[in-house]
Each structure stands twice: as C-alpha cells, then as structure tokens.
C-alpha cells in the first residue's frame, strides 16, 4: 500500500473518529454525572485522565476503522497462525511495502501504550500495559475474524502488542526524566531496544540481499501448505533426469534512471509536463500530468509501463492515419531503443496499433530475446489515450543445473508452493501436466521453474502452481 494511500485512509477515518468523540464526550459526562449523583461515587477524574480517556477512545475508533471497517467482508474466517510469516513474505518478495505495513502495524498501536499511564496510576505498571495491550489487539483480531473484514493473524498480534509496548517505553522514559530532572539510561535503553533491533535486522537483510547472486523468488511461500488435509493424484509423466537450463536477466528491472527516462521521453512525445513530484504505489512509479488526469505508471520490477488518459471512446483510424502514426511512433521508440528488431506490426479493430516482439520458438532459446507487445490507442481528438508498453528484454546470462521433474514434484508434495485461496479439508488436486517454464526474481533474473497444472476437485476448476527448478 502506498504511503499516500495510508495517509489518506488515516485522514478519512480520523474524521469519523472525531465524529465519534463528539458523541462520546457527552455520553462520558452523563455517565460520570450519574455515577456521582445516583450512585454517590467518590472517585474523581483529573483533567489529564479525561483527556487520556477521550484520546484513547478516538484512537480505538480510528484503529477499528483502519483494520476492520475499511475493508469488505471478503476474508471469510481466514486464520494465519504462522509466526513471522509476514517477514518471510517481505523477504521472498523483497517488498518495502510489506516491511512498511509491518512497521505501520506497530506504530498504529503505540498510542495505546503511550496514553495508558495518563489514564490511571496502574497504567504505569508494565504488567498492566501488557495485559491491556494483549486484550485490545486480541479483540480487534477476533472482530476481524468474526465479521470477515480481515484475517486473524498471529503476526498482527505480535506487531500490535510490540507497538503498544514501544509507546509505553517512550512515555515512561520521558516521565522518568521529567520527574527526576535528569537523563535516565535504563528507560532510554528500553525505549531504544525495538528501533535498534529492527534497524540491525533490516541492515543485515539488505547486506545479505545485495551480496547474493540472484534475487528472491516470490513463488516461494511464506509458509508451506498443509498437505495432510488434501489428496493429490498425478497423471503427468515425470522425468527423473536433471538437466541444464538458461538463466536470463532483464536489464530494465529495478533501474531507477529508466523510470525518469521514460517519463521525460513521454513528455517529449506528447508535449505534456508531469508533476515534479511522482508518487509510488508498491514498486510502481506513478507520474501524473500537471494539467489533466492523464497518468503514466512505470512498473519498476519489470520495466514495463502504461499511459492512460482514462478516455472511454477510441478513434477509428484510416489507412493514411495508421501509416503516419506508425512512422511517428516507431521513430520515437527507436530513438529510445524500445522497439525490438523484427517486431510484427498489426492493427486491431481499426483503432489499436500493436507491435509484438519477435516470438521465440523455444522456452529456453539460449540467447538474448524479447517478449511481450506494445499497444497504442487514440482519443476522438487524435491524441494518444492509451499506450501500453509490455515488452521485456531478456539477456542470456549463463546455464545452470536444474532439478528433475520428479524432484520438483517432491517439493510440491512437501507443500512448498503458493496457494490462494487456502485449501479446504478434503480438497483433491489432479495434476495433468508438468512443463519447464520461467519466472522473474526480485533482481530481474528470468529463472527456470516447473509449471504444474491440472484441476482441483472438478475438471471445471483449473489449478496451477510454479516450483523453483534451480538447484
């Protein structure tokens, strides 16, 4: 999730939380008045306790909005009890977005631990904060499970609980320094432990990643499938022979300069100007036209990109217009080395100009090759309304040893593959075919993988998965 999307969502539910607070304040006041007048209560609440109660109430409403009510009821009782699976997923996908969500989940609960010491004297006790933090985060996870608006995740329990303790250690450090009028090292070390731990962990992960030859494979699951609850029938003939296969590299993958080059080239082609500040959506870079709703999205993990003005109508092109626009676009594409030699040009429905990269007859050609296509459409006024560039260059790097089909099948039977939606008890997979395929890793390497296909339970419900083929 893009940081701007997160901030926009926080702002949206902050307004709702403020509305909730406006309703709760008179209710709290009325309840306290009844407590004093009807039940002759003697307990007094200081102004600081009132403020803490109101802020905690607003925080809880905001968290409920972010974690539960901001989603549809699409999760149907999903439970993930695999501890640290979010870290494994962030590693396999090498996703800063996943890491960002982990940190956000912790910081989201920091106000709970931060405010509890102001609510009551026992709120300064570590054991009390631990108990309240656990109960609150457990309640939210159960609420997500019951309503279907989220997944009950053990990792979320850990992150929310840890975040609340971090907030507690922060406020206790400042309270200790304020009360004793001097720097307190012990509370400071407690406060610094969590950021230091995550900082060291992230730095170590980056060092390991940068020094490994290949990237990480997103097809490797964060947790293995439970194969004991399903049955598998294999109809494919599997080879026991281990062979060699080529490894390729996409030179445009994760090239930061490439995104800037494409945006500048597009400004030149269309005579437009993108806003000086581009935003990110996951691994994608988004450039927005400063004078319209037009948008260029560069998919940085592959080097593909897409431009759209969101126009609904297309212009039907005459033969003369096709010829002129083809010449113009090919000159522009060639200027930036974007059009593979030998690409096949066609016109679809008199409105879509298309170039297809020269097709390779083999899945592993043992030489450099291109894959994909380019599609361009025009608005009724003759301006480009859609430009999809989905061509990927693949440079042959070297040959590597790969495992046999039987070895890959053994990995499958061990549950080492991605599956969504999760299996249900009694499901049956029928495997009909196994072929050598390819998949990209997080550094842009095009690596061999075995593609298993078939169906689940009934022939009408197709099923497929990929298993890493490299040793």
Q: How far apart are the C-alpha atoms of 312 and 185, rounded to whole Å?
A: 63
130-144, 185-199, 267-281, 285-299: range with lowest mean pLDDT? 267-281
Q: What average pLDDT score do residues 209-217 get?
A: 97
Res. 36: pLDDT tops 70: yes
Per-residue confidence at 45, pLDDT binned at 50, 70, 90?
A: confident
Q: What percent of the chain has pLDDT over 70?
A: 98
Token pair recorded at residue 242: 């281990």
Give which of 301, 210, 288, 290 is closest to 254, Cα–Cα: 301
- pLDDT, position 177: 94
**CB-CB contact of 112 with 59 (8 Å):** yes
Q: What's the pLDDT at 2?
A: 59
pLDDT tens-digit map of 52-89: 999 999 999 999 988 887 776 666 667 888 899 999 99
Q: pTM of the predicted model, to two decimals?
A: 0.85
> pLDDT digit string (tens) for 335-364?
999 999 999 999 999 999 999 999 887 888
d(CA 301, CA 469): 21
Q: Where are the domains positioned within the chain? A: 3-211, 227-243+402-468, 249-397
**pLDDT above 90 (res 147):** no
Per-residue buried b or exposed e for 186-211, using 16+ beta carbons within 10 Å of the residue's own CB: ebeebbeebeeeeeeeeeeeeeeeee
pLDDT at position 451 is 98
pLDDT beyond 90 at 321: yes
Cα–Cα dist 458/162, whole Å: 45
CA atoms within 13 A on the CB side of 159: 24
Identify the three-state secondary structure at position 45: coil
CA distance 80 to 143: 15
- The mean pLDDT of the chain is 92
Confidence of residue 97 (pLDDT cuts 50, 70, 90): confident
pLDDT exceeding 90 applies to what percent of the chain?
A: 76
Residue 138 pLDDT level (bands cut at 50, 70, 90): very high
Interval 164-179: pLDDT, tens: 999 999 999 999 999 9
pLDDT digits (tens, 9 = 90+) for 393-438: 999 999 999 999 999 999 999 999 999 888 989 999 999 999 999 9
Q: In terms of C-beta density within 10 A (0-12 exposed, 13-18 middle, 19 or more buried), how is residue 246 classed?
A: buried
200-212: pLDDT as tens digits: 999 999 999 999 9
- Going from the C-alpha of 58 to that of each of 14, 51, 103, 261, the distances in angstroms are 8, 11, 21, 45
**Mean pLDDT of the region 40-44:** 80
């Amino acid at each position: 999730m893009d940081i701007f999307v997160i901030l926009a969502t926080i702002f949206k539910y902050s307004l709702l939380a403020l509305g909730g607070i406006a309703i709760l304040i008179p209710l709290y006041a009325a309840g306290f008045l009844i407590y004093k007048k009807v039940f002759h209560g003697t307990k007094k609440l200081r102004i600081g306790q009132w403020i803490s109660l109101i802020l905690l109430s607003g925080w809880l409403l905001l968290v409920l909005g972010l974690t539960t009510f901001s989603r549809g009821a699409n999760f149907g009782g999903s439970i993930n009890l695999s501890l640290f699976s979010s870290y494994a997923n962030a590693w396999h996908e090498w996703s800063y977005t996943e890491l960002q969500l982990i940190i956000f989940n912790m910081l989201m609960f920091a106000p709970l631990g931060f405010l509890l010491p102001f609510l009551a004297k026992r709120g300064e006790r570590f054991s009390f904060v631990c108990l309240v933090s656990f109960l609150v985060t457990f309640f939210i996870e159960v609420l997500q499970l019951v309503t279907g608006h989220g997944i009950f995740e053990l990792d979320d329990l850990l992150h929310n609980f840890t975040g609340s303790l971090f907030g507690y250690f922060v406020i206790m450090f400042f309270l200790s320094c304020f009360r004793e009028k001097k720097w307190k090292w012990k509370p400071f070390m407690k406060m610094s432990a969590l950021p230091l731990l995550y900082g060291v962990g992230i730095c170590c992960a980056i060092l390991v990643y940068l020094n490994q030859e290949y990237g990480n494979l997103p097809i490797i699951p964060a947790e293995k499938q439970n194969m004991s609850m399903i049955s598998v029938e294999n109809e494919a003939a599997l080879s026991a022979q281990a062979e060699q296969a080529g490894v390729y590299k996409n030179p445009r993958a994760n090239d930061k300069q490439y995104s800037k080059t494409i945006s500048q080239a597009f400004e030149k082609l269309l005579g437009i100007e993108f806003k000086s500040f581009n935003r990110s959506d996951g691994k994608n870079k988004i450039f927005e036209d400063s004078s319209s709703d037009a948008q260029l999205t560069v998919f940085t993990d592959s080097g593909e990109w897409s431009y759209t003005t969101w126009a609904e109508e297309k212009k039907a092109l005459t033969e003369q217009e096709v010829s002129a626009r083809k010449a113009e676009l090919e000159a522009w594409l060639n200027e930036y080395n974007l059009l593979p030699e030998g690409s096949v040009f066609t016109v679809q429905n008199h409105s879509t100009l298309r170039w297809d990269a020269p097709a390779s007859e083999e899945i592993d050609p043992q030489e450099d090759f291109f894959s994909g296509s380019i599609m361009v459409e025009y608005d009724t006024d003759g301006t480009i309304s859609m430009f999809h560039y989905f061509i990927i260059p693949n440079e042959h790097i070297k040959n590597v040893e790969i495992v046999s089909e039987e070895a890959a099948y053994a990995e499958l039977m061990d549950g080492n593959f991605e599956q969504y939606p999760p299996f249900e008890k009694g499901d049956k997979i029928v495997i009909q075919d196994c072929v050598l395929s390819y998949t990209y890793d997080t550094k842009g390497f095009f690596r061999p993988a075995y593609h298993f296909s078939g169906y689940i339970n009934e022939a009408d419900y197709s099923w497929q998965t990929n298993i890493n083929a490299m040793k």
